[in-house]
């Protein structure tokens, strides 16, 4: 598998500020089930352009393998299915080896029809509670989405290992996942082992914007091969997260990044160099105090 691209399709696909887009989506939720909100004409055009851009990106990456192929995973929502149709117009039949509708890639469930006043109250509660753990009434939390995305990733790797995608190993395979803003962020969180705190600083993708997880020469996937540091900053990655992406671009598969702070140092003030140094008890006391203060 040469590359994984995650494409985000939002409800309105308008060229407007994300704040305005969110307000538009919530107005539509007052009258339409979330899964049945269609794309606008502007959204359809944006999806078509995204397909052409994706084709160019894959062609540029696979210059040494002209017989590359693509396989699509798509959320079952109406707008993502429409996005798939528009993106697919840029690929010939010989390039596409298959499509699978994957229910676990659906958008976060925000609950059933809601009044505008209730939407405002829910958003205020979410900011106080935290974006990851807050569960929408009659809906899901981001933590719930994390659980089903984790299940999807396990299935994805089994599909690849058992060649359920009917992939000829002579051809480079590119997976294109057409999903939603929060689902895409959770996907990256699970893949790269980001913490809840790191997730809560991430920003949504723009309408029909996509992220390329490209396979490095050593066998690790990274966002820093195709994307610039400026793009990673715009998406909300911290300097430490960006450094890890750059490390992954050249790391061998299975290598351990000892400088990655959230694998160890984030959870402790400091660790003693040895058990004989006499520092261990003091350090654990300091760590416990730090946890108590954060609560």
Q: Are residues 148 and 279 in the same domain?
A: no
pLDDT in tens, the chain (295 residues): 666 666 665 433 333 233 333 444 555 556 678 888 889 899 999 999 999 999 999 999 877 778 899 999 999 999 999 999 999 999 999 999 999 999 999 999 887 656 677 777 777 777 778 889 988 888 899 999 999 999 999 999 998 888 877 777 767 899 999 999 999 999 999 999 999 999 999 999 988 899 999 999 899 999 999 999 999 999 999 999 999 999 999 999 888 887 777 666 667 766 666 666 555 555 556 656 656 665 5
Average predicted confidence (pLDDT) for the chain: 82
Note whether 146 and 52 are same-domain residues.
yes
Q: How high is the pLDDT of residue 61?
A: 84
State the Cα–Cα distance between residues 7 and 235, nearest whole angstrom. Answer: 14
Both 101 and 166 in one domain: the answer is yes
Residues 184 and 74 in one domain: yes
Instruction: Please indicate, yes or no, whether residues 205 and 288 belong to a single structural domain of this protein.
Output: no
Residue with tokens 């793009």: 231
Is residue 108 one of the residues assigned to a domain? yes
Whole-number pLDDT of residue 22: 40
The whole-number pLDDT of residue 24 equals 44
Residues 147 and 286 in one domain: no
CA distances from 159 to 97, 120, 147, 154, 294 (A): 14, 42, 19, 9, 42
Domain end: 151, 182, 215, which one? 215
Based on the fold, state whether residues 176 and 41 are members of the same structural domain.
yes
194/61 same-domain check? yes
Backbone dihedral angles phi then psi of residue 109, each to the nearest 5 degrees? -80, 115
Number of domains in the chain: 2
In a domain, 120, yes or no: yes
Query: What CATH number has the domain bearing residue 20?
Result: 3.40.50.1240
Closest Cα partner for 39 from 178, 183, 199?
Answer: 178
User: Residue 286 is part of which domain span?
Assistant: 264-294
Residue 85 located in a structural domain = yes
Query: What pLDDT, on the 0 to 100 scale, is given for residue 66?
Result: 83
pTM: 0.82
- pLDDT the model gives residue 124: 76
Residues 149 and 273 reside in one and the same domain: no
Q: Report the distance separating Cα 4 and Cα 58, nearest Å.
A: 10
Judge whether 180 and 76 are in contact, CB under 8 Å.
no
Residues 270 and 165 grouped into a single domain: no
Question: 226 lies in a domain?
Answer: no
* Domain boundary pick from 215, 247, 276: 215
Determine the pLDDT at residue 12: 36
Please check whether residue 135 lies inside any domain of the structure.
yes
Q: What is the pLDDT of residue 9?
A: 54
Judge whether 235 lies within some domain.
Answer: no
For residue 222, tell me if it sits in a domain.
no
Same-domain pairing of 282 and 157: no
Pairing of strands 69-74, 96-101: parallel
Q: What pLDDT was estimated at residue 2?
A: 60
- What pLDDT is stored for residue 7 in this prediction? 60
**Do 160 and 274 fall into the same domain?**
no
């Amino acid at each position: 598998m040469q590359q994984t691209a995650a494409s985000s399709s939002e409800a309105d696909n308008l060229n407007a500020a994300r704040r305005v887009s969110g307000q538009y989506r919530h107005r539509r939720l007052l009258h339409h089930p979330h899964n049945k909100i269609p794309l606008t004409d502007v959204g359809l055009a944006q999806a078509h352009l995204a397909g052409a851009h994706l084709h160019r990106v894959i062609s540029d990456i696979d210059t040494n393998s002209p017989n590359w192929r693509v396989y699509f995973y798509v959320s079952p929502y109406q707008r993502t299915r429409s996005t798939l149709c528009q993106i697919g117009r840029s690929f010939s039949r010989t390039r596409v080896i298959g499509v699978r509708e994957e229910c676990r890639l659906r958008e976060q469930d925000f609950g059933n029809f809601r009044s505008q006043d209730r939407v405002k109250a829910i958003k205020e509660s979410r900011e106080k509670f935290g974006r990851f753990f807050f569960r929408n009434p009659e809906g899901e939390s981001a933590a719930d989405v994390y659980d089903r995305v984790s299940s999807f990733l396990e299935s994805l790797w089994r599909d690849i290992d058992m060649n359920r995608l009917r992939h000829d190993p002579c051809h480079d395979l590119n997976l294109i996942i057409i999903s939603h803003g929060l689902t895409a962020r959770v996907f990256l969180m699970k893949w790269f082992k980001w913490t809840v705190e790191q997730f809560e600083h991430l920003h949504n993708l723009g309408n029909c914007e996509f992220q390329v997880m490209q396979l490095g020469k050593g066998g690790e996937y990274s966002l820093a091969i195709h994307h610039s540091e400026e793009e990673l900053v715009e998406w909300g990655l911290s300097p430490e997260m960006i450094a890890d992406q750059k490390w992954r671009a050249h790391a061998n598969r299975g290598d351990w990044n000892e400088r990655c702070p959230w694998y160890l140092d984030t959870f402790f003030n400091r660790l003693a160099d040895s058990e004989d140094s006499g520092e261990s008890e003091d350090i654990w006391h300091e760590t416990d105090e730090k946890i108590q203060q954060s609560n």
